Structure 1
């Protein structure tokens, strides 16, 4: 399982741990990932994701999973989220 957010694409970064004597050793900065179940209002079903805490706040701010996926770029989404976005677009196209 990769340490990457399914919705925003945020992944682990590398950098230096700097000691008091200014020695630099490699370290990793890991994203704050949480397992959540989000509900799609359009598709009437729940979907499990592993997303960052920041992405969870963004989903709430934009008004839910459907609104988030509508604005999200395809490059950043995981294959699972991209498939869900395509299903949403298809359902909305047939509804209108």
Structure 2
């Protein structure tokens, strides 16, 4: 399984350990990935994702998974999340169209 956030694309970074004697050795900075289940209001279902803890805070700050997906860049997401974004956009558009037509 790749060490990459499914929503933002944040992955492993590399750098150096620097000793007191200024010796440098390569090291890896791993993202803080967590497995969570988020709820999509537009699709009325749960979605299991593996995202960074910082992304989880951002999703909550923006008002949920649907709002985050609609505002996010599709190029950085995993293919599964890009498909989910398209489904949410379709569901949101159909809900807006249903709300716009007067019920008689």
TM class, shorter-length: over 0.9
**1:61 and 2:75 matched:** no
TM-score (norm 2): 0.90
1:26-41 pair list within 5 angstroms: 26-41=26-41
Deviations along 1:53-82, one digit per CA (max 9) or x if unpaired, are: 000000000000000001000111111110
C-alpha RMSD over aligned residues: 0.6
Aligned-partner Cα distance in 1 for 2:79–2:55: 17
Larger Rg: 2
* Segments ≥4 residues shifted beyond 6 Å: none
Which segments of 5 or more consecutive residues in structure 2 lack a partner in the other structure? Answer: 98-104
1:1-96 pair list within 5 angstroms: 1-95=1-95, 96=97
